[in-house]
Amino acid sequence: MPSTLTDDGLRQMLDTMGYEPKALSKGYLIAVKSGTWTLNVQLVLSDNKTKVGLNANAGIVENPDAVTAAQWRSLLISNGDIEPTIFYFDATLKKLYLHRVLDNRGLTPAVLRKEIDTFCGNIKDTGDLWKFTK
């Protein structure tokens, strides 16, 4: 059976990969430089440790009702292009996020780097779709 990462193992892998993970109340935050962008990505293990989640805060939507249906629709349509990365909106916090889920089985630094790079590419490639956030 492939091994799974623990919180400490995830931190150690991120350290080994050259990131500087900062501990959060859940998971770790890394900053990824990509061109003119600095992308902040949270990596967190699910409660049952079977999944690794990658999260990026795309910004606050102060008045969600002022965002046009066409803008929300564009986000939903783009989910099909960037899956398994998806957009989701937290109505309580009024924040838009991008999220990606990985199986926590046999993750190697090479696989995790590829997933982080793809996720960061998804963030950048969809930037025009979420520019209405603050």
Confidence of residue 2 (pLDDT cuts 50, 70, 90): low
- Nearest CA to 4 out of 43, 45, 41 is that of 45
Q: What percent of the chain has pLDDT above 70?
A: 99
Q: What percentage of the chain reaches a pLDDT higher than 90? A: 94
For residue 42, the model assigns a pLDDT of 98
pTM for this prediction: 0.94
**Whether the Cβ atoms of residue 67 and residue 61 lie closer than 8 Å to each other:** yes
What number of other Cβ atoms are within 10 A of residue 92's Cβ? 5
Q: What pLDDT digit, counting tens, does each position of 54-103 carry? A: 999 999 999 999 999 999 999 999 999 999 999 999 999 999 999 999 99
86, β-bridge pairs: 99
Per-residue HEC secondary structure of 46-114 comes to CCCCCEEEEEEEEEECCCHHHCCHHHHHHHHHHHHHHCCCEEEEECCCCEEEEEEEEECCCCCHHHHHH
The pLDDT tens digits for 15-39 are: 999 999 999 999 999 999 988 999 9
Residues 134 and 127: their CA atoms lie apart, in Å, by: 13
Nearest to 52 by CA among 41, 61, 64: 41
